[in-house]
Amino acid sequence: MNAYADLPPRRRILASTALLGCAFLAMLDGTVVGTALPRIVQQVGGGGTWYVWLVTAYLLTSSVSVPVYGRFSDLYGRRRLLLGGLALFLTGSTACALAAGMPALVASRAVQGLGAGALLTLGMALIRDLHPPSRPQGLIRMQTALAAMMVLGLVGGPILGGLLADHAGWRWSFWLNLPLGLAAWALIALTLPEHRPATTPPGRLDAAGILLLTSGLGLVLTGLSLKGNAADGRWSDPAVGGCLLGGLALLALLVPVERRAAVPVLPLRLFHNRTYSALLAAGFLLQVAAMPVGILLPLYFQQQRGYSATASGLLLLPLLVGMTVGNRLTAAAVTHGRQVRSVLLTGAALLTAGTGGLLPLGPATPVPLTSVLLLLIGLGTGPAMGGLTIATQSCVRPADMGTATAGSALAKQIGGAFGLACAQSLLAPSGTAIGPTIAWTGIPAGLLAAGALLLVRDLTIATPNRRVAAGSSQRSEHKGLV
């Protein structure tokens, strides 16, 4: 039964607005601060190493906290965790704005990231609680709003970050979070009631599992970040290879620990669900294919075509429009009887075709052709945004929905970091072959994602007007979770 079924419409709207604000805050912070980082390093002091750690500190804490937030929310409720995470994020933002030196700024970014892990993960889970498939129109509107905010954050964030850094000072990149975050905190506290699971966990959450999971993920992400941010970084570099191998070893040790844990932080039974595992793999691979596009295409427009930073941002609009449209069409399709697998496979095919079309990209490539390919990539990326999340949430029990949402978000984050590291490896030898780099990252990743999606059992999202069409295959899937 939906925990918020009896929530009055006005409170539902206000709570949904606040949750969307949390998601927007997380998106906007990354793009605004990312634009201001060069100015921050220039004024505060430090070289490329500090720049890398300003990025890495936030990435690590925001990523490794995601599965912990997701699992805790399933066990103990989401509202208080989200309010706590938002408070941490705002505390870290304030500390960043007041930081007098680079070490303090890096530490403050880590605190900020620790709170940011809750914003998207728990915000998305609570939006699903407020707008389940039994309220399909609300679910579609929420997915459309999320996509629109992503476009606004990706387009407006860099512009706003540049304006703040140039005219108001880089510290305002962090002060900006306070009014938005405080308003969202107050709305959530006033309008969203606390709902905790009906049953109490049979034991304490395993500290060993949390330590191994966060340490392992942290080392893997550090290795990928070092690889992606180093112009001459090699996979065999001791720092890169050591972090990756150490992280994978810790994650391997996590498996026997979680098997014995009374209340595991990572329930291994979820991976017995073939659909869940396949969706995580597909999300990882689709992000591998998509991430280099948004990072490398601005370099192409500025370095090879001579456009300004503002113009290069505008030239990415077809990509962002495609993402918005694709996300809305996906949400509408999966809530109106289309099978999820076929919708996601269509997205993977469009993404593969679009990135493959950039293979001959060069200084003489017509801009209209590039725009068409970007639109195609955006349409293909749209299903990987909301569609994968909806499918992942729907293929597990309601009691595991927070954990599933966190798993989907984490798989995409790691996929993005891995995609950038792979693209950097392909780009480094030539320095200018941006089109082939995107294509040779996107084509295999897109094809592998399609292969993973073929393993997804037929899944149709249940709405009030029809029964779940997955039939016995889906029922057997859920039996494997018990």
Render pLDDT for 38-92 as a digit per residue (tens, 0 to 9).
Answer: 677 777 766 556 666 777 788 888 888 888 898 888 888 888 999 999 999 999 9
Question: pLDDT tens digits, residue range 328-352?
Answer: 787 777 666 567 788 889 999 999 9
Note the Cα 296 to chain centre separation in Å: 19
Give the global pTM.
0.81
Range of the domain at 21: 1-190
- 195 located within any domain: no
Question: pLDDT tens digits, residue range 145-163?
Answer: 777 777 677 666 666 766 7
217/327 same-domain check: no
426/362 same-domain check: yes
Per the model's pLDDT, the better-predicted residue between 341 and 482 turns out to be 341
185/133 same-domain check: yes
150/220 same-domain check: no
Per-residue model confidence (pLDDT) at position 207 = 83
CA distance 188 to 456: 35
The domain that holds 375 is classified in CATH as: 1.20.1250.20
Evaluated on CA atoms 290, 291, 292, 295, the torsion sign reads: positive
- 196 located within any domain: no
Per-residue model confidence (pLDDT) at position 227 = 77
386/256 same-domain check: no
243/372 same-domain check: no
- 75 located within any domain: yes
- 197 located within any domain: no
Per-residue model confidence (pLDDT) at position 466 = 47
Looking at the chain, how many residues does it have? 482
The last residue of one of the domains, among 130, 157, 190, is 190
Residue 205 backbone dihedrals phi, psi, to 5 degrees: -65, 140
Closest C-alpha among 461, 413, 383, 457 to residue 131:
461
- In the chain, the number of structural domains is 3
What's the whole-number mean pLDDT along residues 412-424?
A: 86
382/310 same-domain check: yes
CA distance 132 to 94: 35
CA distance 426 to 392: 32
CA distance 326 to 347: 8
- 155 located within any domain: yes
Closest C-alpha among 374, 359, 355 to residue 448:
355
85/175 same-domain check: yes
H or E element that contains 50: helix 48-76
Written as six digits, the tokens of 33 are: 């601060």
169/242 same-domain check: no
Q: Is the pLDDT at 360 greater than 80, yes or no? A: yes
